Structure 1
């Protein structure tokens, strides 16, 4: 009875700490230093005082392998001098578990979560309720590497009410999705990859009329998944690459952007002409991929991380098939762009219940010693990777075995060099690298449109409303393209959008944006 009562009280406290779960709205540098890893223990010796160090307790995001036995954990213990007991949040409903652990005062010395909007909201809620340690004074005293290595913009964005309660790990900024096309189909119809929206229409018409895949009435020029009616690359050609875009100096949701109507009319016309998959609204991600890899579709919206898997399936079905990404499309007024991520990949904070907050900061600081950080992230030269002309290339299979999940041990990165180290991960498969490289290096820098809200601080109204507004816009966009709604009702929908949190979000976002531009 007492046990049940205690459990009910605990859950009640957890509920008071929780906030609404939301759906979250991954540059080049060179390393001129030696790539020889530091001998075990030397990195921490220069910054940590002599004497025994306490064992730390760290809560991490879920991963498939035990953190405690993963090779990176052993290396970090040797390099920093700190033994750490790692626990994991569950894969399913991690927010619920985290709320309970925070409410119960579990004495973790560090908690690392993903940096998505829902977890940023939790972090802000914990900070405002006094559950977290103010890290500013600790970092000033014990975190010189943290201050030197981490982008000041990220540190500033992690503040809540002017105080820093977390060490942020930046997202590596890259464009993720674009239009992937059957090159052999292009060759059969005698055309080059499209570079404008008009050229895209011409290619899709050729795919429909000349049926280079030999599919007959099952031929699909372009397929996409139903939950993503805003098609990357096409959307950028209309100036709405991101959910929020700068329109005359104001950040504006794309549904309120005058270009939204033009985009919907364009994609709706593709649908009417039979150039867009007639079943797109019902497509799951796997369905769209099956249509492409089986040879039925000529173009698909695809993330570069999926290229090897899609290519393997495609070649298995059609051994002579070839596929590639198209360039970033230009619209009629010259607009173009792929959405590029920005913000936090991870956030790490220290709860007030920690018994070793000072040592936790010293530990995070030691992890950012130059050689320690590199060895943690990508391993040892000539064992885990090779270095030639500034390019880090993994040695397989040991890189995958011992560093594939190293990113889960990050508590802040050396933001000047990590984007270069990170590329070792995409060089595990050159098809992966070529796809990533085309979008993020070969294509001009102005084709990647950074999410303008990536480094915005916690915005309560925006966070509260984003999931609902995003779902509203996606559902409405699908209906417009499909013809289930008429474009004449756009103003009425925009009015509904505004009263459903759009106006409150717009004001809050632009109050911040006005100060951020100064």
Structure 2
């Protein structure tokens, strides 16, 4: 009989811990703070707060960061500002999805869980919601979340829904153009040319960089260096109307290799390579190799993220003190097409597991963090201590800004979406070269040249998510081979057929079934 009871207990525990069950086995999973009594409250004097007035300590699971959340200055500030003491735990840096699955399946009583907004984590969030492991936040926000409703972009809240219900608070990514072509301005000056504004002018610049030797490298001059995993070159690919992996073609979201412009783009870049205008080693290049070629003075144009500007600029001027470099504005193709990819989506999302002991207080806490002054202080600190404000621009005071607010973004559970993009600029003003780089691609660039990724707010989609990485790799590898001459252009139709049968058709249908419901 004892063996039988042990066996039954083991089966029960296994079922409760199973990742497939997801729903917490805890019987207290939906209780709120109002039903929690304080020890000894029956004998407490009238001067002692009642149990209902005492805010419970919350338990929050966060994205990994290098600093301890519990001792970081933002945690101390938020406790004073919201009245909630929070115990912060972190997901591991390696394989965080595995740890998250275990914690959700075992019914660990977290009151808030914040995860990345990437496709793999969005898949987990959707799965948890569909299997009943998360609290429906709609009724709680209606009752306790006026700030959440007032300051978070309604489109973002809608995009975070699963089967019509909101199970998470989204923290939007700041819409940003991240990558472009970075050019040696002093090389341009030496060859007597202006900044290119069209594809034809860009080709003229590349030819001058090769033939007039502005770098003093002789035949070793490299007009344009890119990596082997970057066959779709930013700015150039935008001039063919394909700045993003999927673009609107006649009302349908279409991956690049299925876009009618794909053949023209591939042929154009292949011709650049054939003329020696693109790094002959590009197929084997890693990012580090392209940066070394640029900073050592061998290459005139580099594909680069604006956040790398200070590092690249320091290395370049160390080797060549007179060097100057800047980003090339979006160039136009022969039919006027132009564009640089602008990110859109969720930086992170925060949900409340069913195992939470305090779901109402978790929403109250997140709502309190979005009160205007509280949010600003959480994000960038105190005026004249962490930042200065002049003519509407927030500038950091160093080193205290970096010491006490560098990790502040990891405490976000939703943002004041109207004001945060303005506050956020304090982060890039930590180094004015960084700000100038960001501003050249974003603040100063004409709005039509910043082409938003239309899949940024897409919900989790099974076929798309399953096939995206494989299709992306297939597209990039094949395009590299076309450019390099390892594949003939006569084989494009055969490749497209393979792409479609490898998940391309299924992804296309799923994506456009969704797109038809949201496009304006």
The residue aligned with 2:465 is 463
Cα contact 2:55–2:83 (8 A) shared by 1: yes
> Where does residue 30 of structure 2 map in the other structure?
none
Within a 5 Å distance, the mapping from 1:18-167 to structure 2 comes to 51-167=53-169
Counterparts of 1:279-294 in structure 2 under 5 Å? Answer: 279-294=281-296
Matched, 1:512 2:488: no
Question: In structure 2, which of residues 407, 413, 416 is the aligned counterpart of residue 414 of structure 1?
Answer: 416
Alpha-carbon distance, 1:6 to partner: 9.0
**430, 433, 452: which is aligned to 1:431?**
433
Which residue number corresponds to residue 194 of structure 2? 192
Residue 7 to residue 386, structure 1, CA distance change in 2 (3 Å): farther
Q: Which runs of 5+ in 1 are unaligned?
A: 18-48
Residues 266-307 of structure 1: per-residue CA shift (max 9 Å, x gap): 111111111111111111111111111111110000100000
State the 1:501 CA deviation: 1.1
- The alpha carbon displacement at 1:104 in A equals 1.3
Larger Rg: 2
Moved over 6 A (4+): 5-8
User: Shift in Å at residue 218 of structure 1?
Assistant: 2.5
Report the CA distance shift for 1:16/1:314 in structure 2 as closer, same or farther (over 3 A).
Answer: farther
* 1:9 CA displacement: 4.6
Instruction: Determine which of 474, 486, 489 is the counterpart of 1:484.
Output: 486
Q: Deviations over 1:180-207 (max 9, x none)?
A: 0001111111111111111111111111
| SS at structure 2 position matched to 1:252 | strand
1:328 to 327, 330, 346: 330
Structure 2: where are the runs of 5+ without partners? 1-5, 23-50
Map of 1:36 onto structure 2: none
| Number of the residue aligned with 2:269 | 267
CA contact (8 A) 2:247 2:254 kept: yes
- Residues 464 and 392 (structure 1 numbering): CA distance in 2 closer, same or farther, change over 3 Å? same
Return the offset for 1:79.
Answer: 0.2
Corresponding residue of 1:391: 393
CA distance in 1, matches of 2:152, 2:455: 19
Which among 19, 32, 35 is matched to residue 14 of structure 1?
Answer: 19
**1:13 to partner: Cα distance:** 2.3
1:250 is matched with 252
CA distance in 2 between partners of 1:273 and 1:11 (Å):
64
Does the 8 Å contact 2:17/2:102 carry over to 1?
no
For residues 450 and 432 of structure 2, the distance between their equivalents in structure 1, rounded to whole angstroms, comes to 22
Return the alpha-carbon distance in structure 1 between the equivalents of residues 85 and 228 of structure 2: 47
Which residue matches 1:42? none
Equivalent residues of 1:10, 1:100 under 8 A apart? no
CA–CA separation in structure 2 for the residues paired with 1:218 and 1:105: 62
- Most deviating of 390-399 and 453-462: 453-462
Distance in structure 2 (CA, Å) of the matches to 1:344 and 1:427: 23
Describe the shift of the 1:274–1:156 C-alpha distance in structure 2 as closer, same or farther (beyond 3 A): same
In structure 1, the residue corresponding to 2:501 is in which secondary structure?
helix
Matches of 1:10 and 1:343, distance apart in 2: 35
Instruction: Find the counterpart in structure 2 of residue 233 from structure 1.
Output: 235
Q: What is the number of residues matched between the two proteins?
A: 486
After superposing the two structures, state which structure 1 stretch, 187-196 or 74-83, moved more.
187-196
The whole-number CA distance in structure 2 between the counterparts of 1:6 and 1:179 is: 59
Q: 1:341 — aligned with what?
A: 343
Residue 215 of structure 1: CA displacement?
Answer: 1.5
Q: Which moved more, 1:210-219 or 1:388-397?
A: 210-219
Name the counterpart of 1:29. Answer: none
- 1:296 pairs with 2:301: no
Q: Provide, for residues 447-469 of structure 1, a one-character-per-residue CA deviation record: whole Å limited to 9, x for no partner.
A: 00000111112222211111111
Question: What is aligned with 2:455?
Answer: 453
Q: Secondary structure at the match of 1:186?
A: helix
Give how far 1:50 is off: 6.9
Question: Post-superposition shift, 1:7?
Answer: 13
Structure 1 position 15, deviation (Å):
6.6
User: CA shift at 1:510, angstroms?
Assistant: 1.1
Preserved contact between residue 62 and residue 91 of structure 1 (Cα < 8 Å): yes
TM-score (norm 2): 0.91
Q: Aligned partners of 1:128, 1:287: CA distance in 2, in Å?
A: 45
Aligned to 2:47: none
Cα distance in structure 2, aligned partners of 1:149 and 1:352: 26
SS of structure 2 residue aligned to 1:300: strand
Would the aligned equivalents of 1:15 and 1:99 in 2 still touch at CA under 8 Å? no
Counterpart for residue 173 of structure 2: 171
Report the Cα distance in structure 2 between the residues aligned to 1:16 and 1:474, rounded to whole angstroms: 38
State the SS of the aligned residue for 1:258: coil
1:169 and 1:411 in contact (8 A); partners too:
yes
Q: CA deviation at 1:318?
A: 0.8
Equivalents in 1 of 2:95, 2:348: separation in Å?
17
Q: Distance between the aligned counterparts of 2:13 and 2:378, measured in 1?
A: 42
Q: Is the 8 A contact 1:11 1:100 kept in 2?
A: no
